[in-house]
Structure 1
Amino acid sequence: MIMKKFVLLVIGLFILSGSASAYQINIDAPETLAVGKPLVVTGTTNFGIGTPIDVVLYHQLTTSTEIKRKIVYVQSDHTFRAVFDTTNLKKGKYKVEVPASGLGSSINMRLVELIDRTDEITVSSPLTQEFNGNLMIAGTMEDNHNSGVQIEVTGPDGERILGPLYIATDNQGRFSTEVAITKSGEYEVSFTDTKGYVGAKSITVTGAVGAAVSPTFSTMVTTNAAVISVRSQASRDAPAYFEVMAGSGRVDIFTSSRIDWVIEYIDRYGVLHTVNDHGEINPEEVEIQGWGEPIYLKVYPYKYSDSGEITLYAKNVRSVEVSTTVSEAFGASSGGAAMPGETEASLNPAIACCSALVAILFLKSRS
């Protein structure tokens, strides 16, 4: 009889502790987004570090249809992040949700409307071109007369070849430019105007590659500063450090894609900035005012499980190099400690109290 009461009391204590410290999840996502842009879902929770969380994207018609599902993990600051590729999705209403029950006052669902503007742009240059060292980009922007369009060009390996570059349009909304390329393959050209992201078009380059061509381009309206790049291996435990000798004026720095990179940099006033906006689909990028002084950067993957080669690109700079001494400017810590398991410090205090009470009751029952 004593043991039955003891067991019931223990069960009751655990139930009370669970209700007194309910788990919560709060997520955030943009209300509207252009098709083709990454849908970034961020969240906070009081779940333990390393806890897997399902984030699901649904298409909202008369009923909800699951489109994609991502499993993400709670980080050391009790945040999580999921990025969905919207390239081939239709415009319309969607929702992102963490499907869970018993989350109290949690906000675990957000509505998102995808907007498709790709029909506003017509590409007149061939979508399949024979390799000749140049990629021809020409077309017309609807309702964009005597204004301009911004383009970015991504190469077959996912590296950024050009941009962002502003090109003027004439009185009929027409534009054209040529970009020097060094290899055949599929190139993606993305377009943005004053209203925001318009869309992307793919151009395939075929044929044999001749002598390498330096990455320059010609356009009818402007020129572009040279882009310098450097490569290094990076992981969460072993970040890559770079020293960029800036010129004067605006300095553009961006990463390669295919890994969700985090950029940290220190400005001329000693302030540390952290940038992580685009996920693994698009490169991370920062704009810094150059003063002819070195800029120190640290780059590492957002996910603990990721590692690989990072290519850092910089425009309007004198030099970019991998550094073995810059790490001192960021302190001794790396991009983040390895994903820990549950530690004593992270145990639920209510459960710890229950354990102590159980021990006391057990000793009394023996006396």
Structure 2
Amino acid sequence: MKKIALIALMLMLCVTTVGAYTFQFIGPPKASGSLSGSVGEVILVEGISDNIPPGVSMTLHVTGPLNFYLTRPLIVQNGGYFSTSVETAGFKEGSYRFEVKQNNEYPLSSGRFWFEVRLIDRALLLTMISPLRQEYNGELEIYGTVQDLGTGGVELTVSGPSGTYFGPEWVSTDLLGRFYKTVNIDGFGTYAVRIVDRAGLIDTVQIEVFRETATPPTTIGPTPSTKIVSASATASRENPAYFVMRTLTGPVTLSTSLGIDWVIEYIDESGNKHVVNNFGADKAETVTIDGKGGTIYIRAYPDQGGDGTVHLYGQNVVSLTVSAAASDRFGELQVPGDTQAERSPVLLLLPFVALAVVVVLMGKKP
């Protein structure tokens, strides 16, 4: 009886040993079962086993909001390694559970063979200003804003039919979170623009570039260009910045950067001079001009003392460039309140009033 019991115990131990298949996740899921990420990221699921034979298949089950369900095959390779990836573009915001289901012929022992990822849809922070459908001209216009980003900058990567065209490379943003980049491209097709900040992926935007083949329909009046052109220069009241802007026909928009209370003076295509100073340092000065395909001369400087870099943005324009020669179009910059037009009419009349009083007093002498 003792021999039979011992044999039975040894058989049980053998069965237990054979059935104790296991693996460990590689990367962040190994350290924690609760992770976070952004919608649009690719989630890599990797693991390694010491005792699951190569060729054995398992299944990754992904469940999430609104009865979301997805599966991926996992095939163990030499050395016990297996992996798959899950593209989360188009996923709803919420929590997703990633669980590896065993092969019944190779049952897994007890352990954590799952992890959860909380996906946040950061694309809601992004507003693209440049069109998502652009006619091919050799350049791709990328212009947008990221809510609450400020001057933190964004990392751009542009890929398309021939591979990677730009990046990954960081570009600056202004106080409003605006970024602008022109990338050279070599043909029409779909281009993917990946936009990342220090917190992670914001979004990957698809821009379709087409080549016009048919004769465009006749339209009444010009169609303004959505292209944004920018230029910048250091400016102070003692040394203002001067620019030349060549316009297209139709409404032209000119705006400044934030952070300093800028004053814009411009001479329009009819030779008339205008001064724009409607807001403080927390809001951009913006003016809309009737473009006629001519030249506008611009002078910019701080409303108060000090100096800084002024960034100008022009829309529906051919070009916007820094030009010291444009200073010849403007007169000497006057200190506020120092011009004759700004003096009080009462002050101008004081000498005449004083003269009248003297005449009256002299007339009353005996």
TM-score of the pair, normalised by structure 2: 0.50
Q: How far apart in 2 are the matches of 1:11 and 1:84?
A: 46
Residue 77 of structure 1, CA deviation: 2.0
Contact 2:95/2:118 (8 A) holds in 1: yes
Residue 139 (structure 1) aligned to one of 133, 137, 144: 144
Higher relative contact order (CA 8 A, sep 6+): 1
> Could you say what secondary structure the match of 1:202 adopts?
strand
Look up the equivalent residue of 1:19 and give its one-letter code. T
2:24 paired residue number: 26
1:71 paired residue number: 73
Distance 1:154 1:220, change over 3 A: farther
1:42 paired residue number: 46
Residue 17 (structure 1) aligned to one of 4, 14, 18: 14
> How many residues align structurally?
204
Q: How far apart in 2 are the matches of 1:108 and 1:146?
A: 42
Residue 25 of structure 1, CA deviation: 3.0
Residue 13 of structure 1, CA deviation: 7.2
Distance 1:60 1:88, change over 3 A: closer
- Deviation digits for residues 290-320 of structure 1, max 9, x if unmatched? xxxxxxxxxxxxxxxxxxxxxxxxxxxxxxx
2:89 corresponds to 1:87: yes
Distance 1:98 1:66, change over 3 A: farther
Q: How far apart in 1 are the matches of 2:7 and 2:186?
A: 70
TM-score of the pair, normalised by structure 1: 0.50
Residue 126 (structure 1) aligned to one of 117, 131, 144: 131
Q: How far apart in 1 are the matches of 2:99 and 2:211?
A: 46
Distance 1:25 1:148, change over 3 A: same
Distance 1:220 1:14, change over 3 A: farther
Contact 2:65/2:92 (8 A) holds in 1: no
Distance 1:103 1:134, change over 3 A: same
Q: Which has the larger radius of gyration?
A: 2
1:113 paired residue number: 118
Look up the equivalent residue of 2:46 and give its one-letter code. T
Alignment of 1:182-221 (within 5 A): 182-207=186-211
Distance 1:202 1:163, change over 3 A: same
1:172 paired residue number: 176
> Could you say what secondary structure the match of 2:170 adopts?
strand
Which is further off, 186-195 or 71-80?
71-80
2:102 corresponds to 1:104: no
Residue 60 of structure 1, CA deviation: 5.1
Alignment of 1:223-234 (within 5 A): none
Q: How far apart in 1 are the matches of 2:68 and 2:140?
A: 39
Look up the equivalent residue of 2:47 and give its one-letter code. G
Distance 1:99 1:60, change over 3 A: farther
Q: How far apart in 2 are the matches of 1:220 and 1:94?
A: 46
Residue 12 of structure 1, CA deviation: 9.1
Percent of matched pairs sharing the same residue:
30
Residue 16 of structure 1, CA deviation: 4.4
- Deviation digits for residues 81-116 of structure 1, max 9, x if unmatched? 111010111110001111237522222111111111
Unaligned runs of 5+ in 1: 1-8, 210-217, 222-367
1:181 paired residue number: 185
2:154 corresponds to 1:149: yes
Contact 1:34/1:117 (8 A) holds in 2: yes
Contact 1:177/1:220 (8 A) holds in 2: no
> Could you say what secondary structure the match of 1:17 adopts?
helix
Moved over 6 A (4+): 9-14, 218-221
Residue 133 of structure 1, CA deviation: 0.4
2:303 paired residue number: none
- Deviation digits for residues 30-71 of structure 1, max 9, x if unmatched? 71111111111111222101211211211156xxx4532111
Q: How far apart in 1 are the matches of 2:73 and 2:182?
A: 41
Residue 208 of structure 1, CA deviation: 5.7
Contact 1:25/1:107 (8 A) holds in 2: no
Contact 1:60/1:95 (8 A) holds in 2: no
> Could you say what secondary structure the match of 2:78 adopts?
coil
Q: How far apart in 2 are the matches of 1:103 and 1:172?
A: 53
Q: How far apart in 2 are the matches of 1:108 and 1:206?
A: 47
Q: How far apart in 2 are the matches of 1:162 and 1:10?
A: 69
Q: How far apart in 2 are the matches of 1:219 and 1:166?
A: 18
Q: How far apart in 1 are the matches of 2:180 and 2:116?
A: 38
> Could you say what secondary structure the match of 1:20 adopts?
helix
Look up the equivalent residue of 1:95 and give its one-letter code. R
Q: How far apart in 2 are the matches of 1:17 and 1:188?
A: 55
